[in-house]
Chain A
Amino acid sequence: MNRRRFLRNFIAGGAASALAPRLLRAEVAVATGSGQFARGLATQPWLAGWKSIDSESIGPITATIEGRLPKGFSGTLFRNGPAWFERAGFRYQHWFDGDGMLHAWHFGERTVEHRARMVATSKFTREQKAGRFLLPAAGTTIPAAVLIRNNDDVNTANTAVIRFNGRLFALWEGGSAYELEPETLRTLGPVSWREDLVAAPFSAHPLVERDGSLWNFGSLDLLSGSGLLLWHLGADGKILRTATLATTAPGYLHSFAMTERHLVFMLMPYQLAQGEGAAFFERLRFMPGQPCRIAVVPKDALDAPQWFEVEFGAVYHYADAYERRGEIVVNAVRHDDLADMRSPMAAAMRGERGSAATKMELVSLHLDLTRGRARWQASGVRGLEFPTFDRRHDTAAPSRLFAPARVEPAAAPYFNAIAAIDPARERRSVHVYGADILAEEHVFVPKPGSRRVGEGWLVGSLLDARRGRSGVAVLDAEHVGDGPLAQAWLPYAMPLGFHGTFAA
């Protein structure tokens, strides 16, 4: 790895601003300032999902319960997402830029309590003190940005959250995991799993084995290197193995899939457009004319990947993967709209209504291990994202999937329903929360004491735009169409997030 090249993408933001800071500032203030967003929000209440937070913590507060919490359902839904979008009248243009806020929805027997706190990353702490955005962002050019030491200087810890090794971590994709105190959500700091791996990228989507060990990757492309850093951590939080998967061309990936025996990494070809001054996602250009390259890596031989090529497809999130008769099948949500892929909900970030999030489809990726061939198979199920499933699933058959979906009429160009999809039986059941509700990822929670796959609940967060309140819903995972058993609401609305995890 050439030190000269590290993080060129991120630091480039600073270079441009040095040339024309005033010009940039003036343009940005007019085009994307807080004022324009506020005007949009005044007439489109659903934009509360992209409104900036302006306090470091919210709550704790007891939520108002509608319906009845199921017996035996207790624990905490932790969620993470970008929440702080504006400082000094300057508003980020890209959803992924917002600083992360950790939410904890604590379910007691008859109560639901919520609290949230900004992750005190070094970026957030420095910018709180300065009163303006100082650091380069992943998707927005920041005027007069300061120089950065390394990628953790721009770590927003805003994408996902996991419980692992009895600890709580807020995750991003280009730097360290941030550890937080589970009870108070107080930030403990960035984690280095080993001395030489300080600030090494640790993706937001690690996958946990049945033995409690954890697999993850970090994209070195994001740091202007190349290849993937592979992580295998033991249940005790100690590194079992790391390896570098070499790649021959730039490939973007946000998450990965795994079967019992293999890890599956799909690399989407891209180039960075000219313009040293611009942020990574501003310069990112997917290359739909070129195939995606897929590495199937045996868990017991990280240095022996089998490579596949498949027609270009843009994926952020994978669902389950299984292996049978020499074939690996990976379920995924594939995006057709590459502009939206590059900057999801970009219009909402500006305070405008863009086209609805419908140009994504549940697909399966079939990898023939014997012939070395890969192909996509469409499902016809469209307009959904953030798929989840029961992690106790059968490793040789498709799982029942759960995903926020969009069903007209809907006030927001976003998901307003939760769907359960059974690919094996081609069955679907949907609960529509309502035209004014925005629905987020729903996490599967196994029923305590149950060993039957699929037996459990779904818990997911909601935003009721008309009444200006955020909430959570609990459903019977086997009767999604019946709607929630219980919902719990706060007296205020908070921005939407991305991913969560449930800790019983």
Chain B
Amino acid sequence: MNTASMRLLPLALLFCTIARSADLDVTITDIRVAKGTLMIAVVDSAAGWDDQAKAAAGGTRKASAAQESFHFANLPPGAYAVKVLHDENDNGKLDTNFMGMPIEGYGFSNNPQLLRKPTFDEAKFDLDAAGGAITIDLR
């Protein structure tokens, strides 16, 4: 390690400290039935989006109202995307019919106006050190 980088180290550590404090609040609206489980994943990469890497954060909750909120603390600032699935019948997956059409609720960050699963880039948003709040409308 050279001298320059050693000098930078304290600064980098400082950034890390700030970074760990970014909080994300996710409000989920348009929950149609008060049954089953909401499953949410916060991912920080295209690999995470496609279930090829671990999610940065996640959670589950029984659906009991038309609107629910999730709070994620201490995320490093950066680009994230969020996906939500409402597993209405608690079978652990998003049910689809013979055409592959979803028949349970789902939603993505940015609420992209698409009739397919958006890409990570289409769903991603920047979370800065001050934290952030997003709303996902379930469909």
Contact B101 A147 (CB under 8 A): no
Chain A proximity of B112: nearest CB distance (Å):
8
Taking CB as reference atom, which chain B residue is nearest A225? B99
Interface residues of A in 389-413 (CB under 8 A from B): none
Q: Inter-chain contact count A-B, CB under 8 Å?
A: 68
Chain A proximity of B78: nearest CB distance (Å):
26
Knowing A3-B116, A7-B115, the reply to whether A150 touches B137 (Cβ < 8 A) is: no
Interface residues of A in 89-118 (CB under 8 A from B): none
Does A30 reach chain B (CB closer than 8 Å)? no
Which single member of B98, B106, B139 contacts A146 (CB below 8 Å)? Answer: B139
Q: Which of A53-61, A197-205, A347-355, A438-446 contacts B (4 or more CB under 8 A)?
A: A197-205
Which single member of B32, B106, B116 contacts A4 (CB below 8 Å)? Answer: B116
Taking CB as reference atom, which chain A residue is nearest B99? A1
Q: Give chain A's interface residues, CB within 8 Å of chain B.
A: 1-8, 11, 14-15, 18, 122, 146-151, 153, 196-200, 220, 223, 225
Contact B113 A3 (CB under 8 A): no
Contact B101 A7 (CB under 8 A): yes
What number of B residues sit within 8 Å (CB to CB) of A?
Answer: 23
Chain B neighbourhood of A149, CB < 8 A: 101-106, 139
Chain B neighbourhood of A220, CB < 8 A: 99
Chain A proximity of B53: nearest CB distance (Å):
23
Instruction: Report the Cα distance A466→B42, complex, angstroms.
Output: 63
Most buried by B among A2, A6, A11, A146: A6
Chain B neighbourhood of A147, CB < 8 A: 107, 111, 113, 137, 139
Instruction: Report the Cα distance A225→B114, complex, angstroms.
Output: 16
Contact A146 B101 (CB under 8 A): no
Which single member of A18, A148, A199 contacts B139 (CB below 8 Å)? Answer: A148
Instruction: Report the Cα distance A15→B112, complex, angstroms.
Output: 9
Instruction: Report the Cα distance A198→B103, complex, angstroms.
Output: 7
Does B100 reach chain A (CB closer than 8 Å)? yes
Instruction: Report the Cα distance A147→B95, complex, angstroms.
Output: 18
Contact A3 B103 (CB under 8 A): no
Does B5 reach chain A (CB closer than 8 Å)? no
Chain A proximity of B107: nearest CB distance (Å):
8
Does B97 reach chain A (CB closer than 8 Å)? yes
Taking CB as reference atom, which chain B residue is nearest A3? B100
